[in-house]
Structure 1
Amino acid sequence: MPMTAIILAAGEGTRMKSRHPKVMHKLLDRPLVSWVTRAARNAGADRIIVVVGNGAEEVRAHLASEKDVECVEQTERLGTGHATRVAIEAAHVSEGPVVILNGDLPLIESETIRAFADTVSSGEHACAILTMTPPDPFGYGRVELAADGTVARIIEQKDCTPEQSETLLECNAGCYAFDGALLTAHVGEIGCENAQHEYYLPDMVEILRGHGHSTTITHCPDYVEGLGVNSRVQLAELTALAQAKINEGLMASGVTMLDPKTVWVGPDVAVGRDTELLPMTMLWGATSVGEGCTVGPNTRLTNTTVGNNVLLEEVVGVDVTIDDDATCGPRAYLRGGAHVLESAHIGTHVELKNTVVGKGSKVPHLSYIGDCEMGAGVNIGGGSITCNYDGVHKSRTTIGDGAFIGSDTMMVAPVSIGAGAITGASSCITKDVPADALAVERSEQFMKEGYASKRLERLRKEA
């Protein structure tokens, strides 16, 4: 049966002390809400509906890139039961298992969500509550089970007796799975006769039991899956948990880390065996790193593809590809679709943008190469620049195989430098250079012998 995931992300999160919605604060490389949509997606959810409210425009704008996500706005924040009803009515949810998740629950696993949904898929149970047993259960609602294993009731912390606080260790994680048809039929029965005058989703447990339907639990195998974020302290704590789990998995697969606590890797990153990640390395987005690489220290890669046996030292790479046996850094910045081909070298204080660096080519130091197509075996002298922007248009530079670009060469695009050509140091190349040619552009050197001492003598007299 089709599975629907409804993610509640309308709250303000006042304890975050932020102008941004709570669910937009990042854990590792992505906002909290995207950890939950990712888990729901990997669990096989046919529909993912996010209920937005506070900061709705910011959340919608972020989720626009997730094409399988629908946003429904809760214009009045009247509780979790009200948010669920808004989602059901707006998105016309009527059948199949419906899983209600919180948008600040980043560590929940897709396998847990799938098992959660399966609990109500057979029709035996109308509702399942996600539970956990944290080391310190204080503050969580406790789940009391009946003799037959079904849920008898949920007791909030403030209502627990001392005995219940000690004996009832199964805690409510605040997520629910429902039979979609029964949820749709009865969600309107949730009342607001409470101190906050809000509609609370946990009331559905008693409502469904009152209609003769069974309710049960799905227990989290790891309690951290049920931990939410309500403050920046908790955000840091959960970030550390996610970091440790991802890094332990990578090390188990053959990745070396000198200090795992100083390496941060996003959940969609792939790293090959015998690669070493040095301190202060961050790998974000859809980054993949091959085998036998050394990455870091002080390196950040986002949506970057790295081949095998690559050395990246103090590199920032965003949306780039680096092929086998290449070396980059220290202190190199690669962006905008740059592609470093096999065995090429990008050196110190070099920036590449929308550029192909050919096989075995070198850009050793102090250069900006943008909007350039570079052949194999090219050497770029220090301080060289492709002048690719005239204030309105971007233009390209083409450099043929084996060309030698002298230090401090300005290549004013659009311009082409042929294979094997040489440019003299400190030249400003504004015209195409044929293959195997020498291009030198500089004014004649002027000298006046004895000038320096005479100048110094004159300045002393004037003083």
Structure 2
Amino acid sequence: MLGFFSNAMLRFLETYPDQEEQMDISIVIVANAEGNAFNSNSSKYLHPLGGEPLISYPWQLAADLSEPPPLLLVNAMAASPLQTWAAGRARCVRWQDALPLGETVLLLYGDAPLLRATSVRAFLTNYEQHAVSAMNLVSGAGCVAQLLTATRFQELQASEESLDAGLASLEATLVTLEDAREGLRIHTRVDLSRAEKLLRQRINMRWMLAGVTLVDPATTYIAPTVTIGRDTVIHPHTHLRGKTTIGMENALGPNSIIDSCTIGNRCRVTASVLEHAVMEDESDIGPFGHLRKGARLCRGAHMGNFGEMKKSTLGPGAKMGHFSYLGDTTVAANANIGAGTITCNYDGAHKHPTEIGKGAFIGSGSMLVAPVKIGAGATIGAGSVVTHDLPPGSLAYGVPARLKSTKKD
């Protein structure tokens, strides 16, 4: 399969280049060009690309190239929102500030998200091989990176020219970027959509080459923060977001959203939404299921169509077939949750827990009014409203549910 792609294509598709020895160089990310083309109340550098802020891509590039945090060069309009994002990541500075610089300054641009570390390393090598005081990395879209001595940088700062004018007038040796797609600068939302498509192609190709099947790459959306095990199959219109970790041999989608979740091996997700949840090995959900924050499907658990879980655990081998809601609930192994079962966990002021024991059977259409405990092996008849704890092996039914002495009664 590798022979099908040119070397340039494979280099472009590479998302996370190998780490090399950190370089002793000062990196400045230029993030001052807000403009009005975005027609937005937010900084363009904070608009999402692949689920992450636009500015995070050059920031990650800088982190790949050099250990010290980069300097983030901003103007007055952009300073406040970017300073909030940069906290703990980078130091925001202004054009006329005295900056702590090494001998060489690398200027990256906050609106050039597709530039790769391998291309910049080649640019650095080119700069070191030529005795010049300034060098620009350019593409058809213009300049995407600049190298210059700290002395030249400080001379530009000392001039009366603005940042943009000073950098534009810089006399420098030009080096052309091999893959022009990396040089895309984001000036409008149209540019942002182009970058989204190119980034998606890059990420999707990387995972396909790593052993993941994408049935339709054009309708598969994988954030750069996601990891996927081999032999997983991803069906059309599936979105993988946030810091999601997916194991091997899973079947995901179609029409699913998985955000900041952990999924084990040999799991199945069909037309469902998962948020900050966990699926252990060989569990499955859907169609039309919803796992909210704090939900967990243990090994071999099954959650069918039109079910919802929040801060709840469905134990190993437990089943919740359809049309049920579990909130603040712990279900032990091999229990059965009948259709239409609701845990009534909220009394209007506080949330309360429900515990369902191992092998318990909850009949269809039942309501469990929390706080309540259902013992192991207990059975609840269909349509019951349970307001009190039930001991192990017991039988209860009715509205309100009444306890029978044994299941034989």
Shorter-chain TM band: 0.7 to 0.9
Task: Return the offset for 1:250.
Answer: 1.4
Structure 2 gaps of 5+ residues are 1-22, 402-409
Pair 435,302 (structure 1): closer, same or farther in 2 beyond 3 Å: same
Task: Return the offset for 1:440.
Answer: 2.4
Cα deviation, 1:403-458, whole Å, max 9, x if unaligned, reads 111222222222222211122222222222222122324169xxxxxxxxxxxxxx
Matched, 1:71 2:92: yes
For the residue of structure 2 that corresponds to 1:130, the secondary structure is strand
Corresponding position of 2:312: 355
Task: Return the offset for 1:379.
Answer: 1.0
Corresponding position of 1:175: 145
Task: Return the offset for 1:313.
Answer: 0.6
Return the alpha-carbon distance in structure 2 between the equivalents of residues 373 and 279 of structure 1: 33
Return the alpha-carbon distance in structure 2 between the equivalents of residues 119 and 392 of structure 1: 66
Pair 440,48 (structure 1): closer, same or farther in 2 beyond 3 Å: farther
Corresponding position of 1:346: 303
Return the alpha-carbon distance in structure 2 between the equivalents of residues 347 and 3 of structure 1: 55
Note the 1:91-110 alignment, pairs <5 A.
92-95=99-102, 97-110=104-117
Note the 1:264-413 alignment, pairs <5 A.
264-413=221-370
Corresponding position of 1:211: none
Pair 104,357 (structure 1): closer, same or farther in 2 beyond 3 Å: same
Paired letter, 1:95: G
Cα deviation, 1:15-47, whole Å, max 9, x if unaligned, reads 122222211222221121122222222333411
Paired letter, 2:282: D
Corresponding position of 1:5: 27
Pair 396,18 (structure 1): closer, same or farther in 2 beyond 3 Å: same
Task: Return the offset for 1:123.
Answer: 10
Task: Return the offset for 1:365.
Answer: 1.0
Note the aligned Cα RMSD (angstroms).
2.6
Task: Return the offset for 1:253.
Answer: 1.7
Q: Retained in 2: the 8 A contact 1:99–1:116?
A: no
Note the 1:89-238 alignment, pairs <5 A.
89=98, 92-95=99-102, 97-116=104-123, 125-132=132-139, 137=140, 140=141, 172-179=142-149, 181-182=150-151, 185-192=154-161, 200-202=165-167, 205-206=170-171, 216-217=173-174, 219-238=176-195
Structure-2-length-normalised TM-score: 0.84
Task: Return the offset for 1:70.
Answer: 2.9
Note the 1:434-453 alignment, pairs <5 A.
434-442=391-399
Q: Retained in 2: the 8 A contact 1:11–1:21?
A: no
Q: Retained in 1: the 8 A contact 2:345–2:369?
A: yes
Paired letter, 2:91: E
Structure 1 gaps of 5+ residues are 73-82, 141-171, 207-214, 445-463
Pair 71,430 (structure 1): closer, same or farther in 2 beyond 3 Å: farther
For the residue of structure 1 that corresponds to 2:309, the secondary structure is strand
Return the alpha-carbon distance in structure 2 between the equivalents of residues 299 and 219 of structure 1: 41
Structure-1-length-normalised TM-score: 0.75
Q: Retained in 2: the 8 A contact 1:400–1:419?
A: yes
Larger radius of gyration: 1
For the residue of structure 1 that corresponds to 2:350, the secondary structure is coil
Return the alpha-carbon distance in structure 2 between the equivalents of residues 289 and 71 of structure 1: 36
Corresponding position of 1:33: 55
Q: Retained in 2: the 8 A contact 1:427–1:442?
A: yes
Return the alpha-carbon distance in structure 1 between the equivalents of residues 128 and 349 of structure 2: 59
Pair 422,254 (structure 1): closer, same or farther in 2 beyond 3 Å: same
Return the alpha-carbon distance in structure 2 between the equivalents of residues 203 and 184 of structure 1: 13
Pair 386,234 (structure 1): closer, same or farther in 2 beyond 3 Å: same
Task: Return the offset for 1:281.
Answer: 0.6
Report % sequence identity: 34
